[in-house]
DNA sequence: TATAATAATGACTAATTAGTCAGTTGTCAA
DNA sequence: TTGACAACTGACTAATTAGTCATTATTATA
């Protein structure tokens, strides 16, 4: 076994027990029976190690699950396989899964946070595609909300089986969640997470690019029905392409459009975007 | 405002941003505009501060929620009030709620962990009582599972509103969750979390006392139908009261009973209990 | 104003940390 | 046997940490 692999395996054990911050490189090297110098031959830093761990395990977990979902042809077994594979995978890599639960929202290393969000987005995509395949048009308005319910189930039941010495029947767990998911998918009428919130959440973690904003603005513009709405959007578009208006005027334009339902989102995004620029220019 | 209160308020801000471990006492005192010594006049240690924070906020959140639930007379508004109060409370104390999400499963200070579990148990109790009041006998077999679904909802939607700059309509969120909860409560047929798992999970975090074991053992004994089952349980009870049998004999007795459905749990608990004793006596 | 009591300070200790690097060891081929 | 190269070591640095304590400042009381 390579040194790198040895370090990763031993480190996972310690991180699962004590967490990333509270585990020192010293401890890791002692646990491996190697010297401190040897560690730094394999990894440039402690951060590089945790990043490597996340990439190794997450890509495997996601691809395992995604494979199960895409190979199934949207029959009644798909949901079951999804849940079963998910929990089986987190049971197999239980130490890593523990790290994931512990560090997911706690880490403050920028690269780490973006890694987590990257894989979280992949998982959301898998779930969304699966649900679309299974229920089609019927869940058009509820599918994003359903993704959150499913994530909630996964999170709370994972915690239960990972951190409590409870003997678990994964088949039963998967069956139980399939029933719940079917119930919710076929009968929910008032979703909370809308398409807008879903996409907004995905954007709020990365820098929203000017191009993305323009795209969304164009869309709102094409849907605009009233003149005030159209002209305000048009002016905002010009200002986005080539800043020319004062902070106060922008604020007014945003107020103009934020009353229209189809402009709520772009108004919100633009306000964030310009506010950011403003403070940066100070 | 007292020094203690000042420190707590400022510390919450920093902990929410950076986490407990990554925030130094130095940083806290600078943020307060006081000296390091002054900090230690109010708190014996950094740990004492976080414990005080948890007690202050958690007791308030739990009692807010519990009050809403118990004052309502199990009408259709109860569930709505529960969810609304819950999210309102976590929005009001958003910095603390963030700390809670970040540190809950990550902390390794023993006292902290037991604090978290204490309040988690209180919340579970509130939810369980509420659901029993609302749905009564109909959810006898599913109620513990429902508690987990509800906790899952709370956890995932809290994360959404706390860590993403998404404008949120709490009324809508509460309504949406009421619908989901009603659906699940009235239609679930295959729960995963049984009464046993629920209680077992609650026990696994505290030291299981001999008295608790005896109580459960008595119950199993009273339900025992076959002779082998009865005698094995009886012998185990004697050994529990006054150890006399060897490790091997105990193992055999446990094997005798673990086949019976009503003994699965006590067998599991006893195995843990005796295994623990054994290793401790070495 | 003088005295006592309390509050607050910040330089200090001792411990721990991530990361470095001059030097040692092991392993091959010539 | 020699030399060259890579793998490895662990004492070291510089920074940071929680917590202490002799000293100083503030306030209340007589």
How big is the CA angle at B35 (ends B34 and B39), to the nearest 5 degrees?
85
Is the pLDDT assigned to residue B95 strictly greater than 90?
Answer: yes
Res B204: pLDDT: 62
- In A, which residues are within 8 Å of B205 by CB distance? 164
Res A151: pLDDT: 97
Chain A CB within 8 Å of residue B176 CB: yes
Instruction: Give the mean model confidence (pLDDT) for residues B176-201.
Output: 94
Gap between the Cα atoms of A141 and A143, Å rounded:
6
Res B1: pLDDT: 65
Please report which confidence band the pLDDT of residue B143 belongs to, taking 50, 70 and 90 as the band edges: very high
Q: Identify which of B67, B98, B96, B101 has the alpha carbon closest to the alpha carbon of residue B84.
A: B67
Chain A CB within 8 Å of residue B205 CB: yes
Instruction: Give the mean model confidence (pLDDT) for residues B149-177.
Output: 92
Is the pLDDT assigned to residue B99 strictly greater than 80?
Answer: yes
With CA of A32 and C1' of each nucleotide, the nearest comes out as D8
Question: Is residue A229 within 8 Å of residue A260, measured between CB atoms?
Answer: yes
pLDDT under 50: residue ranges of chain A: 276-282
Whose CB is within 7 A of strand D? A 3, 34-38, 40-41; B 23-27, 36-37, 40, 44-47
Res B206: pLDDT: 61
| Cβ-defined contact of B148 to A163 (cutoff 8 Å) | no
C1’ D14 / CA A163, Å = 39
Residues whose CB is less than 8 angstroms from the CB of residue B265 and which lie 6 or more positions away in sequence, other chains included: B196, B200, B216, B220
Question: Is residue B185 within 8 Å of residue A173, measured between CB atoms?
Answer: no
Per-residue pLDDT of A170-185, as tens digits, reads 999 999 999 999 999 9
Gap between the Cα atoms of A41 and A26, Å rounded:
14
Res B281: pLDDT: 33
How big is the CA angle at A202 (ends A72 and B95), to the nearest 5 degrees?
125
Per-residue pLDDT of B214-267, as tens digits, reads 877 887 777 777 788 888 888 888 888 888 888 788 878 887 887 776 776 777
Chain B CB within 8 Å of residue A21 CB: yes
Res A279: pLDDT: 39
- Give the mutation candidate from B176, B195, B205 for the A interface (greatest A CB count, under 10 A): B176
Taking each continuous run of H as one helix and of E as one strand, the counts in chain A are: 14, 0
Instruction: Give the mean model confidence (pLDDT) for residues B64-70.
Output: 83
Chain A CB within 8 Å of residue B177 CB: yes
Nearest CA in chain A to B185: A180
């Amino acid at each position: 076994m390579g040194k790198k692999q040895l370090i990763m395996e031993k480190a996972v054990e310690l991180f699962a027990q004590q967490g990333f911050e509270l585990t020192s490189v010293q401890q890791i090297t002692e646990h491996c029976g190697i010297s401190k110098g040897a560690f730094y031959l394999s990894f440039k830093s402690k951060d590089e190690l945790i990043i490597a761990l996340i990439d190794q395990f997450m890509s495997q977990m996601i691809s395992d699950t995604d494979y199960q979902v895409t190979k199934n042809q949207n029959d009644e077994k798909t949901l079951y396989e999804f849940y079963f594979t998910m929990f089986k995978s987190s049971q197999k890599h239980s130490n890593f899964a523990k790290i994931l639960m512990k560090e997911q929202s706690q880490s403050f290393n920028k690269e780490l946070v973006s890694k987590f969000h990257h894989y979280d987005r992949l998982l959301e995509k898998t779930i969304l595609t699966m649900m679309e395949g299974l229920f089609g048009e019927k869940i058009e308005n509820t599918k994003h909300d359903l993704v959150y319910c499913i994530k909630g189930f996964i999170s709370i039941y994972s915690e239960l089986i990972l951190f409590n010495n409870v003997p678990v029947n994964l088949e039963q767990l998967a069956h139980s969640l399939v029933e719940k998911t079917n119930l919710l998918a076929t009968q929910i009428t008032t979703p909370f997470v809308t398409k807008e919130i879903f996409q907004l959440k995905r954007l709020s973690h990365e820098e929203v690019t000017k191009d993305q904003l323009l795209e969304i603005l164009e869309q709102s513009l094409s849907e605009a029905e009233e003149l005030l709405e159209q002209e305000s959007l048009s002016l905002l578009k010009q200002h986005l392409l080539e800043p020319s208006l004062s902070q106060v005027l922008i604020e007014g334009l945003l107020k103009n459009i934020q009353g229209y339902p189809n402009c709520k989102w772009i108004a919100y995004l633009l306000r964030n975007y310009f506010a950011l620029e403003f403070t940066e220019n100070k």
